[in-house]
Copies of this chain bind each other. A is one copy, B any other.
Amino acid sequence: MQTLAEMGEDALICRLVAGLKLDASVIAGPGDDCAVVLPPSRGEHLLLKTDTVVEGVHFTPDTAPRLIGRKAMARVISDFAAMAATPRHALITLIAPPQTLVKRVINVYAGLRSMAELHGVNIVGGETSRGDQLIITVSMTGTAPSKTWLARNRAKAGDTLWVTGQLGGSIHGKHLRFNPRLAEAHWLAKNLPVTAMMDLSDGLAKDLPRMAASCGLGCKLSVAHVPKTRGCTLAQALGDGEDYELLFALSSKAPCDFTSAWKQAFPNLKLTCIGQLVADSNKVDLLQGGWEHFR
């Protein structure tokens, strides 16, 4: 089985980008110093995000390579979902030990590519280097309407707090196989007065106070209502991290009956009210916990 060292960088890149699906927005894909793409349309802002997965932190040496790539791409798409934005163009940085099998890297790329294609994302370039661990960084641009883009800091006291899906226990598989809530986020932004939104990556116990703090508010969390993944404790639902569900705040102007419209649009995904934002920015009623990098 051939290793990266045996294959060499140019041949590897050739192999990885062969047959990439690129839409008409791509003027120049991989191969030049920079990729060249059409800018956002009039009335749109440009959005930027980068995210990384590291062997031993976000996946293990035993993780199926396709799922590593899938996760790396899906995490970033999830950030675009968090702003009800449209992801468009991605750059991939691949760091790997020289003795890594070419086949492993090709399979990582297959996971990156299929998740990208699923959401209309063009892979337009990247970078490779040797390093001690396998690391994949995905940097992405996207667009959102300049007048209605969704931030995480515009909620008001009294706005209700909602989450999609179930929380906790992601380590048992969901962290590799989650679906970024892109369609759901677009539906919410279109149909409801969403005042703040983010994706849950570090656990509700950590992310909810972050969102509240961005708004200069506090929050009341109804722990009894937190939707727990089957078999998970409350502490796990609050602290496990990597849920990649949407957390959002809804103005009181939201129509009363929207949950039935949601059910019709997304019959298999729960939507749960878990609390409320409050004016006192020191008030955060939560268990301690949550994912902390570097610790």
Contacts and interface: CB of A to CB of B under 8 A. Distances in A.
Interface of A: 4-5, 7-10, 12, 27-28, 31-40, 44-52, 54, 56-58, 79-80, 82-83, 85, 89, 91-93, 95-96, 98, 124-133, 135, 137, 139, 141-144, 149, 151-153, 198-199, 210, 214, 292-295
Contact of A293 (B125, B130, B143): B130
A139 B139 contact: yes
B33 A38 contact: no
Given A39-B39, A83-B33, A153-B32, A139 B9 contact: no
Contacts of A149: 36
A51 B132 contact: no
Contacts of A92: 50
A127 B43 CA distance: 28
A7 B50 CA distance: 22
Given A36-B45, A56-B132, 14 more contacts: A31-B153, A35-B47, A37-B47, A50-B125, A50-B137, A50-B139, A52-B129, A52-B137, A56-B131, A57-B130, A95-B135, A130-B293, A133-B133, A141-B141
A131 B126 contact: no
A164 to B, nearest CB: 15
